[in-house]
Amino acid sequence: MTKKILITGADGFIGSHLVEKLANDGHSVRAFCLYNSFNDIGWLKNIKTDILDSVEIVLGDIRDLNSIKKAACGIDFIFHLASLVAIPYSYQAPESYIDTNIKGTFNVLTAAVDNNVQQVIHTSTSEVYGTAQFVPITEDHPLVGQSPYSASKIGADQMAYAFYCSYGLPVSTVRPFNTYGPRQSARAVIPTIISQVLAGSKNLNLGNVVATRDFNFVHDTVRGMIAFMGNSKSFGEVINIGTGVEITIKDVVSMVAKISGVDLEICVDNSRVRPEKSEVERLCASNKKAQDILDWRPEYCLEEGLSITYDWFKNNFDKFNLNGSKYVI
């Protein structure tokens, strides 16, 4: 059945893919985008016109309670993705992460209660686990805020759980591991690698290349998020969305070299290295809970997803000014 769905952070990387999928599936989608004076709707501009025309776009700010309350009126489900996500910038402006990620989440949850929303699917991040104390990382792993960003997301996750316990709000928390794919910002490591290659560089400027990550293709992440919708077994639960496969950044560079046909060398750029105690050295997800509750499993292997991502960046390199030679925090 067609559902009325509000997506916060709809103008972002994952949000735009979620909007596209749900609208294409025939749902009534209201896309909540960050207000700006340019009337810019971010990556939603990249969606096919016939799909975008069916989407109701609302400009606002989750830091403003009245703004999100109006947007949640008449809504069945809220997918809450809006947040500040750049880890390096969180070192420079930590208070803004508290305002957006914690207070903003509080506002979304309050709006959901006031509008009798059927379910909120709240988006977390694998960064809340910090460096893995054991692998694969289950949802019972301790939460360790190694950056202001991850600390703010821990606060947001706990706020979501508090609303489930205190007000009976049906809240589910999706915890994606490192999502990548078309439309991702060049500040993320895979677009950084690909965009530098496409800019003609054979010497890549990168940070920590021995850390491991569990990379999840964006279509799998979106599919996992949608699996939460209407699933009462997920209420009050946190569920990882990840492949269960870890790989070093150095090995990702080797895979991109194979796909691009370019011999690549790595140059460590100290400006891209996190403070020593803030670096998350290892991430690898357990997706057993996702399999059991959501019937979700990843469909894309890393090499396949990287090939799709590389082709997209290659085809859109000039259109979107995706040159990654300059470091973007």
Type of residue found at 276: E
Q: State residue 186's pLDDT score.
A: 84
Q: State residue 317's pLDDT score.
A: 86
Q: Does 47 lie in the same domain as 171?
A: yes
Q: State residue 327's pLDDT score.
A: 65
Q: Does 131 lie in the same domain as 223?
A: yes
Render 116-160 in DSSP notation, one character per residue: T-SEEEEE--GGGG-S-SSSSBPTTSPP---SHHHHHHHHHHHHH
Identify the DSSP state of 271. G
Indicate which CATH number applies to the domain containing 163.
3.40.50.720
Indicate which CATH number applies to the domain containing 257.
3.90.25.10
Q: State residue 325's pLDDT score.
A: 59
- C-alpha–C-alpha distance, residues 329 and 315, integer Å: 24
Q: State residue 8's pLDDT score.
A: 98
Tens digit of pLDDT for each residue in 11-55?
999 999 999 999 999 999 999 999 999 999 999 999 999 999 999
Is 292 a member of any domain?
A: no
Is 17 a member of any domain?
A: yes
Q: State residue 107's pLDDT score.
A: 98
- C-alpha–C-alpha distance, residues 328 and 322, integer Å: 11
Whole-prediction pTM value?
Answer: 0.96
Q: Does 167 lie in the same domain as 76?
A: yes
Tens digit of pLDDT for each residue in 107-137?
999 999 999 999 999 999 999 999 999 999 9
Q: State residue 261's pLDDT score.
A: 97
Render 222-289 in DSSP notation, one character per residue: HHHHHTTTT-GGGTT-EEEE--S--EEHHHHHHHHHHHHT---EEEE-GGGSPPGGG------B--HH
Q: Does 149 lie in the same domain as 32?
A: yes
Average confidence score pLDDT of the chain: 95
Number of domain units in the chain: 2
Q: State residue 273's pLDDT score.
A: 87
Q: Which residues of the chain have pLDDT under 50?
A: none
Q: Does 190 lie in the same domain as 124?
A: no
Q: Does 228 lie in the same domain as 312?
A: no
H or E element at residue 304: helix 302-316
Is 254 a member of any domain?
A: yes
Is 261 a member of any domain?
A: yes
Is 34 a member of any domain?
A: yes
Is 294 a member of any domain?
A: no
Q: Per DSSP, what are the bridge partners of residue 82?
A: none
Residue range(s) defining the domain that contains residue 274 = 182-213+245-282+301-316
Q: Is 236 exposed, middle or buried (0-12, 13-18, 19+ CB in 10 A)?
A: middle
